[in-house]
Amino acid sequence: MIDLHCHSSMSDGTDSPEQLIKKASEKGVRVIALTDHDTLDGLDKVEEMAAASSIKFIRGCEISTKSDYGSLHILGLWIPKKCDSLQDYLREMRKRRDNRNLGMLKKLEKLGINIDYDELLNISQGSIGRPHFAQLLIEKGYVESIQEAFSEYLGAEGKAYLPKDTPKPEIAINILSKDGAMVFIAHPLLSKKVPLQWLSEKVQYFKGYGLNGLEAWHSSHNEEETALLTELAGKTGLAVSGGSDYHGKKKPGINLGYVGENREIPYSIYENLLEYRKAKGF
Ligand code: AMP
Ligand code: ZN
Ligand code: FE
Ligand code: FE
């Protein structure tokens, strides 16, 4: 099996780069992509660890953007080591993330909940996100679960929520594409509100900016949705990717290499991607 969408402790996963490769190796995951949010900082370490094992490694990242149906995530895979525009862009995104985090801390403070920015820094190693807030809310006894943290405070309807200041998808797609990465829409049907017709039109439009594929295999997609997305990719000349969106203990239900209880992400996805890359001159 393979897994082309995973998070480490460099963003909001809980496994260190070392633990991630160890787990992949134990489980028999043959190809892995690290796709942390807004940061490339874990890539060198995981690449080094993978090189010392038999696991193939793909450099990746996940970028949040905003579209008609809320947040739309863009995945870059096979990101070249030299990617100056992307690095500049990610730096700007992290700055905006910081501003938002400080704003959410202020809102929590007004609700009588005191979290120090340093406490967030202490439990993260790179990109800070709402899951880190959730962890502290639990540790401090304000809520009992991640779910409660999101429904009460951090989710779109939560009392301390602030939207992320993110750009349009075509901007992220364009930057990744120009820097030489392969570009995918991550978990296109994670939000069940997204109509397939809308997605299909957007996909055509995004192709003009460098979109290469759809993440048809994902833990939030059932078999039917994976089939629908695979069909859409076929019709529009796009590639298909697959990843679990593993976050370690932050998302306990998700298993490395799987998108459902008995649904391993097949190695053929990787082989097809290699074919696509060859055909398109990557
Ligand atoms: P951020 O990038 O700070 O907006 O945080 C996004 C992260 O929060 C993603 O990893 C999401 O999966 C996670 N997240 C969003 N909503 C929820 C929720 N209701 N329960 C658990 N995690 C969530
Ligand atoms: Zn995440
Ligand atoms: Fe995502
Ligand atoms: Fe993700």
pLDDT digits (tens, 9 = 90+) for 173-207: 999 999 999 999 999 999 989 999 999 999 999 99
pTM of the model: 0.90
Which one of 61, 130, 138, 249 would you pick to mutate in the ligand 1 pocket, going by the greatest count of ligand atoms within 8 A of its CB? 130
CA distance 20 to 13: 10
Share of the chain above pLDDT 70, in %: 100
| Ligand 1 pocket residue status of 248, Cβ below 6 Å | no
Rounded-to-integer distance, Cα 9 and Cα 37, Å: 11
Residues 33-85 have pLDDT tens digits of 999 998 999 999 999 999 999 999 999 999 999 999 989 999 999 999 999 99
Percent of the chain exceeding pLDDT 90 equals 91
Does residue 12 have its Cβ closer than 6 Å to ligand 1? yes
Ligand 1 pocket, 131 CB below 6 A? yes
pLDDT at 165 over 90: no
From CA 73, how far away is CA 223, in angstroms rounded? 21
Q: How far is the CA of 278 from the centre of ligand 2 (A)?
A: 30
Question: Is the distance from the beta carbon of residue 155 to the nearest atom of ligand 1 less than 6 Å?
Answer: yes
Whether 17 contacts 31, CB under 8 Å: no
Distance CA 213, CA 173 (A): 11
* Ligand 1 in reach of 153 Cβ (< 6 A): no
**Nearest CA owner, ligand 1 atom 18:** 150
Q: How confident is the model at residue 250 (pLDDT cuts 50, 70, 90)?
A: confident
Q: Could you tell me the two tokens for 112?
A: 């009588």
- Of the listed ligands, the closest to the CA of 163 is 1
Categorize the per-residue pLDDT at 126 as very low, low, confident or very high, splitting at 50, 70 and 90. Answer: confident
Nearest CA to ligand 1 atom 11: 131
Q: What is the CA radius of gyration of the chain?
A: 18
Per-residue pLDDT reduced to its tens digit, 224-238: 999 999 999 999 999
At 11, is the pLDDT very low, low, confident or very high (cuts 50, 70, 90)?
A: confident
pLDDT tens digits along 204-217: 999 999 999 999 99
Question: 55: which 2 tokens?
Answer: 């696991």
Residue for token pair 């809320």: 70
